[in-house]
Amino acid sequence: MPNKVPFTKGINFTKWFEFRTFEGIDFNKFTEKDFIDAKTLGADVIRVPVPFHNFLINKNNKIEPKLFAYLDEVAAWAVKNQIYLIIDNHSFHPVNSTDPKIEKILIPVWEQIARHFKDYGEYIIYEVLNEPHGIPDEIWNKIQGNAIKAIRKHDKKHSIIVGGTNYNSIEKMLKVPAYKDNNLIYTFHFYDPHLFTHQGASWNSPSLEPLKDLPFPAAEGFSTSIHESFKGTWVEEALKYYEHDSKLTKLSETLQKAADFSKERDVPVFCGEFGVYMLQCPSNDRAKWYKFVCEELLKLNISWTCWDYFGGFGIFKTMQRGDFPADLDFNITKAMGFKTE
């Protein structure tokens, strides 16, 4: 099984740069200590989502210079502690479709990033765009290819992470072309079954806030009451198939597709996001899901970064920042294979 990915497992440091304006950034949310703590757990990579397209200061699509000052400090922490840093262009909207004309911004943005980081050491990795969706595969795949070329005009050294549409689904990763670049990492995100991993989440349509205590996996003969807001929607239909969709064999078959793609293409594959929203999920079942998924990824030799550190999908006991390591959810960290002692 090919795996040229230089890291094994890590964490997304979320809600750090993910703001609509540069002034909204709370740079002090994470410090070098968080990198050190993550490495203590056994993480060797940190993925940092940055919505670069929100931080342009003129019609020429120039990136706010102070943003690079922030990222330079983050990169210095990563290099100092020998932990890989994925600079993830998180310029996406969870509901609004990816603009077919996004290339007009994407290309100049990546040229600036590549020029800035081209002389940095081996620990820097680029990710073209988080979760493109609502855009035809052929259009996105061409745009992504042009972004690769734009980066390579300035930086022929650093690895580039590429992915497919439909929110970086495995199925769409299979449709990403074999770009003529030998330093790419193909990515996918994994939140199956969605009803389990997102129960209680408010940002779905319809909202999954009424959904709680959904088990994993579902026992034979599973049934549940249908909340009024779910009737006639995709949620009602999905609940009918939840017993089947939560089967370990079903999830294993889906992940196997990523491993087969890696072998057939002879390219490295990476799971950039996966996780379970903690708000209304049974804690033991949440741990079961993480254990199963992480063991499958390890068996398939697929590297990963979980979503997230502090937050609704986090590895602490609550959604809030906690003390390290006292406030870690050890059931979750153990299930994921992180060091807990």
Report how far apart, in Å, the C-alpha atoms of 239 and of each of 65, 205, 252, 328 are. 48, 15, 20, 32
**pLDDT tens readout for residues 291-336:** 999 999 999 999 999 999 999 999 999 999 999 999 999 999 999 9
Structural domains counted in the chain: 1
Could you tell me if residue 233 is inside a domain?
yes
Could you tell me if residue 173 is inside a domain?
yes
> What average pLDDT does the segment 94-118 reach?
97
Half-sphere exposure of 242 (CA within 13 A, CB side): 25
The reported pLDDT for the residue numbered 183 is 96
The reported pLDDT for the residue numbered 244 is 97
Could you tell me if residue 269 is inside a domain?
yes
Tell how far CA 148 is from the center of its chain.
Answer: 20
- Of the two residues 95 and 148, the one the predictor is more confident about is 148
**pLDDT tens readout for residues 189-219:** 999 999 999 999 999 899 999 999 999 999 9
> Per this entry, what is the length of the chain?
341
Q: To the nearest whole percent, how much of the chain has pLDDT over 70?
A: 99
Is 90 exceeded by the pLDDT of residue 165? yes
The CATH number of residue 79's host domain is: 3.20.20.80
pLDDT band at 4 (very low <50, low <70, confident <90, very high): confident
Could you tell me if residue 129 is inside a domain?
yes
Could you tell me if residue 322 is inside a domain?
yes
Alpha-carbon distance of 267 to 264, in angstroms, equals 8
Predicted TM-score of the model (pTM): 0.97
Is 60 exceeded by the pLDDT of residue 1? no
Question: Which one, of 10, 2, 14, 3, lies nearest residue 319 by Cα?
Answer: 14
**pLDDT tens readout for residues 251-274:** 999 999 999 999 999 999 999 999
The reported pLDDT for the residue numbered 60 is 85
Could you tell me if residue 340 is inside a domain?
no
The reported pLDDT for the residue numbered 69 is 98
Could you tell me if residue 341 is inside a domain?
no
Could you tell me if residue 4 is inside a domain?
no
Alpha-carbon distance of 301 to 261, in angstroms, equals 12
Residues 6+ apart with CB under 8 A from 41: 333, 338, 339, 340
Mean of the per-residue pLDDT values for the chain? 96
* Structural domain for 66, as ranges: 9-335
